Amino acid sequence: MKVSAIVAAAGQSKRMKKHVSKNKLLLKIGNKPILLHTLSNVFNSKIDECIIVYREKEIFNLIKNLDIKIVKVDKVPLSYSLLSGVKECNNEICLCVAGDQPFVTSETFNNLIKTSIKKDVLSILGRKGKEGYVENVEGLGMPFVARKELLLRYLPQYPGNINPILKKMLNNNVKIYAIPPLKEIELLNINTYKDYLLAKRLSSS
């Protein structure tokens, strides 16, 4: 089965902008912006196309010369960004990634893809010790892999963040399977300036 990656990069970075003026995805870890670290790992995974959903001009300027499909949105909710990307994808399997996840490895993305296809489940990066079939989705979000038709069914119904949508899926007997991270650092989402400083420190250690 062919796989489309959808990278959500349309957030407002509200918590980060309390400390810095720019979008967090443009902040550098080493010599490269956070978003490009994430995209590099996505590109190196077993995908057949990559779609990035953006809202701000500065993000577009960063990605405009990449060999990817670019989708512009004018609304902030994460579910809306994902839905906009899913509608543009050409394949049955969707790898959904947040732009602020630079430490999730291509190997972990591949594990998610393989598990989703083999077990016919929504596969997701496990947090808080979750592994295998999950009975609750507390703390879970992106990255995950799901079938396009499943996302087209649920994303329009529940605008907002992803976790409540996962909860609705689970309540409707959608099978969700958690894959443990290869390294703890993969669980680091960069939302605040404190997260960013930690990310820089961990990347240089």
pLDDT of the residue at 189: 85
- The domain of 82 spans 3-204
Q: What percent of the chain is modeled with pLDDT above 90?
A: 79
Residue 53 has pLDDT above 90, yes or no: yes
177-203 per-residue burial string, b: 16 or more CB within 10 A, e: under 16: bbbbbeeebbbbebbebebbeebeeee
Confidence band of 11 (pLDDT split at 50, 70, 90): confident
Mean pLDDT over the full length of the chain: 93
The radius of gyration of the chain from alpha carbons, rounded to an integer in Å, stands at 16
Number of domains the chain contains:
1
Average pLDDT over residues 115-131: 94
Q: What percent of the chain is modeled with pLDDT above 70?
A: 95
CATH number of the domain within which 158 lies: 3.90.550.10
> Is 83 exposed, middle or buried (CB count within 10 Å of its CB: 0-12, 13-18, 19+)?
buried
pTM of this prediction?
0.94
Residue 18 has pLDDT above 70, yes or no: no
pLDDT of the residue at 159: 84
Span 124-145, pLDDT tens digits: 999 878 899 999 999 999 999 9
Residue 83 has pLDDT above 60, yes or no: yes
HEC profile for the chain?
Answer: CCEEEEEEECCCCCCHHHCCCCCHHHCEECCEEHHHHHHHHHHCCCCCEEEEEECCHHHHHHHCCCCCEEEECCCCCHHHHHHHHHHHCCCCEEEEEECCCCCCCHHHHHHHHHHHHHHCCEEEECCCCCCEECCCCCCCCCCEEEEHHHHHHHCCCCCCCHHHHHHHHHHCCCCEEEECCCCHHHHCCCCCHHHHHHHHHHHHC
Rounded Cα–Cα distance for residues 174 and 36 (Å): 32
31-58 per-residue burial string, b: 16 or more CB within 10 A, e: under 16: eebbbbbbbebbeebebebbbbbbbbee
User: Are the CB atoms for 7 and 52 separated by under 8 Å?
Assistant: yes
pLDDT of the residue at 76: 72
